Structure 1
Amino acid sequence: MSKNKLKTEKPESKKPKGVTPNPDVLKKDREPEVKVKELVKDERTHKVLGVVFLLLSVYCFIAFTSYLFTWEDDQDKVFRYSTKELLIGDVKVDNLLGRLGAFVSHNFFFNGVGIAAYLFCYFFFIIGINFIVGRRVFRIWRNVKYILFGLVFISMTMAFLAYNADFPWGGALGNALNKWTSGFIGKTGTALLLLVAGFSWLIWKFNFNFKWPEKKIKPPKPISAVAPVVAAQTAAGTPVAAKDITPAARKNGLKEDNGVVVIPPAMYNEEEEEDMPPMHLVERDEISVIPSHAAYMPPAVAPVNMAGSAEEEDELSEEEEEEDPGPLLYIEERPEEKPVNKKKTGVEEVAFEIKPTFKDEEEEIEEIAAIRPVGPVDPYDPSLDLRDYKFPTLDLLENHSADKVIVQDTTELEKNKNQIIDTLKNYDISIQKISATVGPTVTLYEIVPAAGVRISRIKNLEDDIALSLSALGIRIIAPIPGKGTIGIEVPNVKKSIVSLKALLASEKFQNSTMDLPIALGKKIDNENFIADLAKMPHLLMAGATGQGKSVGINALLVSLLYKKHPSQLKFVLVDPKKVELSLYKLIEKHFLAKLPGEDDAIITDTKKVIHTLNALCIEMDLRYDLLKEAGTRNIREYNVKFTQRRLNPLKGHRYLPFIVLVVDEFADLIMTAGKEVEMPIARLAQLARAVGIHLIIATQRPSVNIITGTIKANFPARVAFKVSSKIDSRTILDIGGAEQLIGQGDMLVSFNGELVRLQCAFVDTPEVENVAEFIGNQKGYPDAFLLPEYVDDKDVDGKELTLADRDPLFEEAAQVIVTAQQGSTSLLQRRMKLGYNRAGRLMDQLEAASIVGPNMGSKARDVLVKTESELQEILNNLL
């Protein structure tokens, strides 16, 4: 809806009854309220301060420079008269900036730091530049450290070098420091102290390299990574000596008639031949021949060397040494195999193994700032609009799992193992091996059944095993995909919290090159689960009330905020509950998108949700038109072309950020709007992935009438928290199991054809507020990202087509049509970013004004006005 229409719909202010305003009496003008906070943050205030500091810098520079030449004539006047006389009296001085310049210069030089006073000019200059430009051109605190060091070092050095000079080179500060240090460590010690301090600063600043140049060592001839086999034994049992190996055999690396295996001498270094151990003669039965294409040498390989005679080596020419040495052979020493007792009759005889959990190096979280991803430098960088934007730091989040580390309770594991074995044994089911993997909330016991045991028998014992373990609820995976085992997931007695901070600090997330990386949680083996939303490409979340859906949505949004720049990502947040996503209102001018004319970027009204979804469909169509004109297939190829300046912005091309639509409660929208919401959602799910629009939809009611087949077909990635029934689990995952979860963030993720159990990352409300405030306090765009305008058919139908109430964009649309000489509704949609309904309405009004001809079906309308002068006459007549 347009801004003008919104203004007309505002209710008029109520006036008190019985009071008529007197037209002869003028109303008092309301004095504008001046807010100090807004005045301090105003850009104009910063620019004025910048000009003041630059003027102060120039003033001090002129005064100090003039003081170098006029100090002798002005010094007695400054000493003779007080400050009051210098300010009020008519004393004449020689300084270019008058009495004030002489007084200021005297205090900075004579009573201050001497010639080092010029550093104050530099300080005022960098502050002024930063204020005027509006960004950090110079780093203030780093320069302050250098200035403070320079004031002390330069003043003391100048006082030491010009100790008896009349001019105050070091000032009062330098003379005082020099006098104290000379009396404490002497003049020689003072000189050494100044030298050490000066060289230390230079080393710290420029980091000189004091390494002595090393002599270049000639690299040795390359030695093959494999050891040639040259020892063998004849059939009679007589070993063959090295001297009996012919040069031809040495060259070709083949077997002789007597069974000797030889290899050319080019495979080892001739210079080191004398240092190598003598040849070992190995029995033929102990040699295992491995082909030369092996990837690496096994650890049990024993190198064997052969020392050939010098005469035979001289016979080989250089060309023969450069030829292919032929197949390479290895000797593998095989250890003796010990007999294994395969009898397993009781509980104690079943092999039991506790698998180590996945450990990230980032479990000990360091307080580091999020690193801005560095990529190849492109001619156009969209992030330059907010070049001072800082990514959120990890110290804004809390490490909830610091005191609750995953501990392997061996007593509990041994007890559960015995219970599982006994339960299966009661039903005459024997197993070969059982292993345990401890996770944050559940432990996975993997069993290998004995030969001939049906998997369905173990699957049917799910309730019996749960009864024997006294567990809240177990889940049997029979079999585990990709493994020859059967999994039994048992909840832990002591559960651990998975902190979002630990996931974001991990190397897998920090070094991720994904388009939209999201941190969902940790697997049972404690491995971080980081996925790319752009490849999902849409995510469907479901679960009962209070099982962690809202926390999961916050974890996804915070993950994206930590990784993406505001120019690369925009959110469309739909919150029918009105309280779940209100925390993100602070980042409206950075990451949020909304309809034109709307005040609130968090959408709560159902009617506005319908308009927003249809506006996203219009944005999708416009992006597809841009991709078609650019000759690209997806948003990544298009943005690469645009950043390489191969697309003309004058033709409507622009950088396309990713758009993520988040719906917190989808069931409420379906109940109130029905098809009006379902149709644009289904359309976006079918087509929007290629143009960078992705959907995250959550609902607490995963029934068939809410999650229809059309929606499910386009949401391959699904997340299921604990649900109330197996039917709900089948609705969301197409398989049971979600009803057996233990809640509080325990979830199943169906992605890439796999079903993975995760413990969702936990992020608390204060942490989300800290991140939102950190981003919101920074400089953002003038307004939120504006979606194309959408006008509902109900607002347009039923109104008479008259030019008196023509659209505010009528003149602009007429100019677009006349300039292009093409009466096309899609042209108005693309050029003016309008919806189909409003563009069609404008086209009808242009027809009524005789600017375009009547509708001709699929063909474009005829443009009746050929020049802009004719168009201007028509527009003037309509006024």
Structure 2
Amino acid sequence: MAGNKLKTEKKKAESKKPQAKPDPDVLKPDKEPEVKVKELVKDERTHKVLGVSMLLLSLYCFIAFTSYLFSWEEDQDKVFRYSARILFSDDVEVDNLLGRLGAFVSHWFFYKGFGLASYLFCYFFFILGVNYIVGRRVFRIWRNVKYILFGLIFISTAFAFISGKSAFPWGGAVGTAITKWTSGFVGKAGMGLLLLVTGLSWLIWKFNIDFKLPEKKQPAIKPVKADEGGPVLHIDEEVEPKEDTAPFRPNGLKHESGVTVIQPASEEDFDPGLQLVEREEPSIPASHITYIPPIAPPLPEESLLELVEEEDEPPFDMTEVTKPAELEIPEQPVARRGKTPTEVTFEIKPPVEETVAEDEDVHQGPLPVREHVTADPYEPTLDLRDYQYPALEMLENHGSDKIVQDASELEKNKNQIIDTLKNYDIQIQKISATVGPTVTLYEIVPAAGVRISRIKNLEDDIALSLSALGIRIIAPIPGKGTIGIEVPNVKKSIVSLRNMLASEKFMNSNMDLPVAIGKKIDNENFIADLAKMPHLLMAGATGQGKSVGINTLLVSLLYKKHPSQLKFVLVDPKKVELSLYKLIEKHFLAKLPGEEDAIITDTKKVIHTLNALCIEMDVRYDLLKEAATRNIREYNAKFTARKLNPLKGHRFLPFIVLVVDEFADLIMTAGKEVEMPIARLAQLARAVGIHLIIATQRPSVNIITGTIKANFPARIAFKVSSKVDSRTILDIGGAEQLIGQGDMLISYNGELVRLQCAFVDTPEVEKVAEFIGEQRGYPEAFLLPEYVDEKEMDGKDFSLADRDPLFEEAARVIVQNQQGSTSLLQRRMKLGYNRAGRLMDQLESAGIVGPNLGSKAREVNVKTEADLEEILNDLL
């Protein structure tokens, strides 16, 4: 004991001694900065240096190989004599342009390698260099590697077989060895056949060569003479459709051999001056005839000429035609409706002049009978019948479906939770755990008499005891008699979008717009129907997964829908997030007429686009009203069943999904001009197939207003900075407790579910977009209605002397329908929005309609056609 006291006193004395102060004049040695290998490898400058080196290596090999073609005889003996020592022998002179190294490398690649096929190595180094310098995948490495490997083996073998015993190493040692072994195995004749079959097989696989023999053309059938004033039905020779355009299907009677007979739309549209001449040959079985409703009725000769001369657009509602319908006028005018492999046209003869009594019925004789005609359902996907859906192999498998459970971690957390609750005199009856991708849910059953609020208030204490960030207590769990405690896992798993899209739940879903969002805590795939949401509001702090979430939704739809069934309107104020989807412009994107870029970045164009969507919504509601349907599904079902007449403006309606990547920026720059059309679309557009996905990183009340929130029942919240933001987006706290990196809460169908968002990387999205963009698409993107800002139109006086040529016709349409709607003029007269708007302003100046009432139709001041005729006569 005495010894211990002495040691203690000695230590105290030493601690009281003044410590020597550091000398300021003595410089400390500088610490050398640590260079981390991982950071050096990932550095952009390293990639650029490597790219430049690859390009120089490609050029070096190309020059050396080319020089070897002319200097191989002089240099080959020297390389054989000295081998690798030639590189360090100063007294040896070679003829290769790149010296001894060039001669040695060329000899190694040509003589000991692959012969002339060695040039493929130059190409390989070139594509690597370009990709590294640019910083993105300009060339597809794996696909080119496959071609290079095949070329090295096939080309070297073919040259070795053809050159025989030539002194020059055309095929190199590899080609010679393969040729020698194969020739001994199958003989020289077999070797030649094998090379021929291999080469042809590769060409067929690469270019899909068509070996079909040209079909024998059917002889032209002479026209059948008809009665005076009647049409003549004749069959032209077969015309092969162009491969780069979608086949145009004229409407009428369609035979399985391709013969199409155009018929009028209805009895009302049938011209009594024309008579169909029936003939016995060629006979068409009734079972082989299908009826396709016509797009436009037969037009008189003068009307056809006026349409060709005056209209910029073709007079028929065609999905995809490379040029307008042609009008050929021989001695007797012929009106052609389109071109098919075998086309049937009507030749219209000028009527014979004859006197007809005033009381004589012009419609004498029965109208053409359409018996034995079956309705063939309209199939919108036939516009792009060769379209191929992207394959799952384009997406990477970032993680496994199976979640690894760490038993020690589960046991430790369970004991910590029990001990923490015991410290506050809270007894529990049972505890269980459900392990998810990133979060484990511990469900506890409290003892009788324990208040739930006591456990809820211990959220921070439990987080402290577990040393974990993002503890969230659900008290109680809806539908269960338990209390949930969500604890983040130490080892988190990535939820791969590929695994979700490959699941049976997604592949076999019959939803209108299925989207794979993420996985629940119980590892169940969360797949929802965007059409039933019907709009989605996303919010979260910067870098928490909003852009990945948008890509997940868009890629899900691209894997499930055909271009004819779905269109995207993409608004990207940040200008970089959605630029990848520009490649699919002619397949899936929609834009304003006259715009070059389908990805909308300018705020003014965003306002015009949103208002154009409102116009499209109004037009669609008018179509639903005329079709006596309530939603887009019923309308499209009627249209595909051919129960709606395209002459009255009816068409197949694709779904339209509006995606806004940063809504806060639009509100800050445009305010009410953006908020009002967004709110109107959110209120009304769901029934006509227009759905919204709005994302923002500022979920404040001045950005997400009450009007917008009320019409967005489905909401997604990634990690936010405060509980106030969480309540703004979800009406409840909890989003501030998330751990980021795709951890999210979704409010859907009245439930709040925690998910781990599916992950899809940018190169995967680019690969899918490239695959779709390389296929044949429509001539241009889906065009929205034209929109003219009312403010720009104010103050412009229209002179009645300079009124539109269609002024009188528009006035009659308005008075007959008693509806002062611009969309009515668009639909009935097949006009653009600008011209229809000008006509409406001129009608207002003439006093036929009242002033603009916003979203409501104008009041029609003229009630009868007799009054209208008086007004029109006064204007002359």
TM-score normalized with structure 1 length: 0.55
SS of residue in 1 equivalent to 2:421: helix
Structure 1 partner of 2:243: 134
Matches within 5 A, 1:481-630: 481-630=478-627
Contact preservation (8 Å) 2:534, 2:712? yes
1:815 Cα shift?
3.8
Matches within 5 A, 1:20-169: 123-125=211-213, 132=241, 134=243
The one-character-per-residue Cα deviations of 1:406-444 (angstroms, maximum 9, x if unpaired) are 210000100000010111111111111111111000100
Task: Find the aligned partners of 2:396 and 2:864 in 1 and give their Cα distance.
Answer: 64
Distance of aligned partners of 1:842 and 1:130 in 2 relative to their CA distance in 1, 3 Å threshold: closer
1:652 Cα shift?
0.7
Match of 2:390 among 378, 392, 405: 392
Matches within 5 A, 1:729-808: 729-802=726-799
Contact preservation (8 Å) 2:819, 2:859? no
1:786 Cα shift?
0.8
Task: Find the aligned partners of 1:705 and 1:410 in 2 and give their Cα distance.
Answer: 47
Matches within 5 A, 1:849-860: 853=848, 855=850, 858-859=859-860
Matches within 5 A, 1:268-347: none
Structure 2 partner of 1:318: none
SS of residue in 2 equivalent to 1:758: strand
Matches within 5 A, 1:395-414: 395-402=393-400, 405-414=402-411
SS of residue in 2 equivalent to 1:484: coil
The answer to whether residue 667 in structure 2 is matched with residue 670 in structure 1 is yes
Give the AA of the match of 1:379. Answer: P
Contact preservation (8 Å) 1:854, 1:862? no
Runs of at least 5 residues in structure 1 that lack an aligned partner in the other structure: 1-111, 114-120, 138-376
The answer to whether residue 629 in structure 2 is matched with residue 632 in structure 1 is yes
Task: Find the aligned partners of 1:122 and 1:716 in 2 and give their Cα distance.
Answer: 53
SS of residue in 2 equivalent to 1:811: coil
Give the AA of the match of 2:438. Answer: T
1:130 Cα shift?
13
The one-character-per-residue Cα deviations of 1:328-370 (angstroms, maximum 9, x if unpaired) are xxxxxxxxxxxxxxxxxxxxxxxxxxxxxxxxxxxxxxxxxxx
SS of residue in 2 equivalent to 1:482: coil
1:793 Cα shift?
1.5
Task: Find the aligned partners of 2:811 and 2:672 in 1 and give their Cα distance.
Answer: 35
Give the AA of the match of 1:811. Answer: P
Contact preservation (8 Å) 2:810, 2:839? no
Task: Find the aligned partners of 2:598 and 2:560 in 1 and give their Cα distance.
Answer: 22
1:819 Cα shift?
6.4
Task: Find the aligned partners of 1:756 and 1:126 in 2 and give their Cα distance.
Answer: 61
Contact preservation (8 Å) 1:622, 1:833? no
Structure 1 partner of 2:377: 379
1:801 Cα shift?
2.0
Q: How many residues align?
A: 511
The one-character-per-residue Cα deviations of 1:21-50 (angstroms, maximum 9, x if unpaired) are xxxxxxxxxxxxxxxxxxxxxxxxxxxxxx
SS of residue in 1 equivalent to 2:211: helix
Distance of aligned partners of 1:484 and 1:867 in 2 relative to their CA distance in 1, 3 Å threshold: closer
The one-character-per-residue Cα deviations of 1:277-326 (angstroms, maximum 9, x if unpaired) are xxxxxxxxxxxxxxxxxxxxxxxxxxxxxxxxxxxxxxxxxxxxxxxxxx
Contact preservation (8 Å) 2:815, 2:862? no
Matches within 5 A, 1:834-845: 839-845=836-842
SS of residue in 2 equivalent to 1:621: helix
SS of residue in 2 equivalent to 1:756: strand
1:867 Cα shift?
12
Match of 1:443 among 427, 440, 443: 440
Matches within 5 A, 1:468-483: 468-483=465-480
Task: Find the aligned partners of 1:740 and 1:561 in 2 and give their Cα distance.
Answer: 33
TM-score normalized with structure 2 length: 0.55
Task: Find the aligned partners of 2:636 and 2:738 in 1 and give their Cα distance.
Answer: 42
The answer to whether residue 805 in structure 2 is matched with residue 811 in structure 1 is yes
Task: Find the aligned partners of 1:549 and 1:426 in 2 and give their Cα distance.
Answer: 40
Distance of aligned partners of 1:853 and 1:862 in 2 relative to their CA distance in 1, 3 Å threshold: farther
Task: Find the aligned partners of 2:376 and 2:431 in 1 and give their Cα distance.
Answer: 55
Give the % identical residues: 81
Distance of aligned partners of 1:595 and 1:413 in 2 relative to their CA distance in 1, 3 Å threshold: same
Larger radius of gyration: 1
Task: Find the aligned partners of 2:750 and 2:830 in 1 and give their Cα distance.
Answer: 39
Contact preservation (8 Å) 1:135, 1:388? no
1:405 Cα shift?
4.9
Give the AA of the match of 1:552. Answer: G
Contact preservation (8 Å) 1:574, 1:663? yes
Give the AA of the match of 1:125. Answer: L
SS of residue in 2 equivalent to 1:747: strand
The one-character-per-residue Cα deviations of 1:131-170 (angstroms, maximum 9, x if unpaired) are 8552899xxxxxxxxxxxxxxxxxxxxxxxxxxxxxxxxx
Match of 1:825 among 820, 827, 830: 820
Give the AA of the match of 1:134. Answer: E
1:800 Cα shift?
2.9
SS of residue in 1 equivalent to 2:569: strand
Task: Find the aligned partners of 2:706 and 2:536 in 1 and give their Cα distance.
Answer: 15
1:461 Cα shift?
0.7
Task: Find the aligned partners of 2:494 and 2:583 in 1 and give their Cα distance.
Answer: 28
1:599 Cα shift?
0.8
Task: Find the aligned partners of 2:660 and 2:534 in 1 and give their Cα distance.
Answer: 15
Runs of at least 5 residues in structure 2 that lack an aligned partner in the other structure: 1-195, 198-208, 217-237, 247-374, 852-857
Task: Find the aligned partners of 1:464 and 1:127 in 2 and give their Cα distance.
Answer: 82
Distance of aligned partners of 1:751 and 1:819 in 2 relative to their CA distance in 1, 3 Å threshold: closer
Task: Find the aligned partners of 1:136 and 1:623 in 2 and give their Cα distance.
Answer: 28
Task: Find the aligned partners of 1:834 and 1:450 in 2 and give their Cα distance.
Answer: 73
